[in-house]
Amino acid sequence: MTASEAKALEAKEKQEVSADVEQTRPGPTFTPAVDIFETDTGITLLADMPGVKAKKLDIDLQKSVLTIKGEVDAPEGPNETDVLREYNTGSYVRQFALSDAIDQSKIHAELKEGVLKLVLPKAEKAVPRKIAVKTG
């Protein structure tokens, strides 16, 4: 983390989705920024979804396609008028194709401070095993 600590953050414009699926909900849909990394035991996915509450988060897995979807209710009250507006709020949608190596029954999801953490453990057979080579 030492390299990134000194770095100053810059705002990135939220990426709006040009969805294949037509939306029935009004308002824009964004692609959440994600980190995906793999270890020997599984794949972890971290997604920034600020404003999404756990009950408005939908994680769906069908035919090895993982869909994460989150809805954000407009945080503004009814009597508020805009003074300055730099970002928009809306839903988040993103899809990933998973390999069969994932044990789909053991997927674990956690939503904390607007960050979704999905742990996708590898199926037993996909975990690499060290084979001891016997000499002699």
Partner 1 sequence: MAIMRPFWPTRDSSVFGELDRMRRDMERLFGGLSGRSFRQPTAGVFPLTNVTEDNDNYYVRAELPGTKAEDLDISVRGDGLSIAGERKLPEEKEDARYHRKEREAGKFSRMIGLPGQINTEKVEAHCTDGMLTIVLPKAEAAKPRQISVKAA
Residues binding partner 1 (CB under 8 A): 1, 4-11, 33-40, 43-44, 46, 48-53, 75-77, 79-88, 112-115
By the 10 Å C-beta count (0-12 exposed, 13-18 middle, 19+ buried), 67 is classed as middle
Supply the minimum distance, in Å, between the C-beta of residue 62 and partner 1. 21
Say if residues 34 and 44 touch (Cβ distance below 8 Å). no
CB crowding 87-114: b at 16 or more within 10 Å, else e: eebbbbbbebebeeebbeeebeeebeee
Report the nearest approach of partner 1 to the CB of residue 30 (Å).
Answer: 10
Min CB(70)–partner 1 separation in Å: 10
